Amino acid sequence: MAQSNPRLVVVGSIGLDTIETPRARREEILGGSAVYACAAASFFTRVGMVGVVGTDFPLRHRRLFERFGIDLRGLQTVEGRTFRWSGVYEEDFNSRRTLKTELNVFADFEPRLPPAYRRAPFLFLANIAPALQLHILDQMERRPRLVLADTMDLWIHMARTDLHRLIARVDVLTLNDSEARHLTGRHSLVAAAHAILRLGPRAVLVKKGEHGCLLFTPHGIRVLPAFPLEEVYDPTGAGDAFAGGLSGWLASRPRYSLPDVRAAMVHGSVIASFGVEAFGLDRLRRLTRPQIEARVREFRAMCRV
Ligand code: AMP
pLDDT 10s digits, 135-178: 999 999 999 999 999 999 999 999 999 999 999 999 999 999 99
Ligand 1 pocket, mutate which of 57, 127, 176, 282 (most atoms under 8 A from CB):
127
Provide the pLDDT confidence category of residue 95 given band limits of 50, 70 and 90: confident
**Whole-structure pTM value:** 0.96
* pLDDT higher than threshold 60 for residue 239: yes
Which residue, judged by its Cα, is nearest atom 9 of ligand 1? 32
**Other beta carbons less than 10 A from residue 226's beta carbon:** 20
Q: How far apart are CA 256 and CA 71, in angstroms?
A: 24
Q: What mean pLDDT comes out for the span 111-115? A: 94
Predicted pLDDT at 251: 97
Predicted pLDDT at 94: 77
Q: What mean pLDDT comes out for the span 225-233? A: 94
- Residue 203 phi/psi, 5-degree rounding, is -155, 155
* pLDDT higher than threshold 90 for residue 92: no
- Asked if residues 232 and 276 have their Cβ atoms less than 8 Å apart, the reply is yes
Q: What mean pLDDT comes out for the span 130-135? A: 96
Q: What mean pLDDT comes out for the span 123-132? A: 95
Which residue, judged by its Cα, is nearest atom 5 of ligand 1? 237
Provide the pLDDT confidence category of residue 233 given band limits of 50, 70 and 90: very high
Residues in a beta bridge with 206: 175, 214
Ligand 1 lined by 252 (C-beta under 6 Å):
no
pLDDT 10s digits, 41-60: 999 999 999 999 999 999 99
Q: What mean pLDDT comes out for the span 68-93? A: 95
Ligand 1 lined by 237 (C-beta under 6 Å):
yes
Q: Which residues of 160-193 are buried (b: 16+ CB within 10 A; e: fewer)?
A: eebbebbbebbbbbbbbbebbbbbbebeebeebb
Which residue, judged by its Cα, is nearest atom 4 of ligand 1? 237
Mean of the per-residue pLDDT values of the chain? 95
For the chain, the distance separating the N- and C-terminal CA atoms, rounded to the nearest angstrom, is 49
Predicted pLDDT at 257: 78
Q: What mean pLDDT comes out for the span 1-21? A: 93
Which among 124, 102, 140, 162 is positioned nearest to 36, based on CA atoms? 124
Predicted pLDDT at 3: 81
Closest ligand 1 atom number to CA of residue 83: 12
* pLDDT higher than threshold 90 for residue 120: yes
Closest ligand 1 atom number to CA of residue 36: 10
Predicted pLDDT at 191: 98
Which residue, judged by its Cα, is nearest atom 13 of ligand 1? 32
Closest ligand 1 atom number to CA of residue 15: 12
Ligand 1 lined by 85 (C-beta under 6 Å):
yes
Secondary structure in 3-state letters for 166-215 = HHCCCCEEEEEHHHHHHHHCCCCHHHHHHHHHCCCCCEEEEECHHHCEEE
Ligand 1 pocket, mutate which of 152, 175, 206 (most atoms under 8 A from CB):
152
**Other beta carbons less than 10 A from residue 152's beta carbon:** 17
Predicted pLDDT at 1: 54
Residues in a beta bridge with 53: 77
- Residue 41 phi/psi, 5-degree rounding, is -70, -30
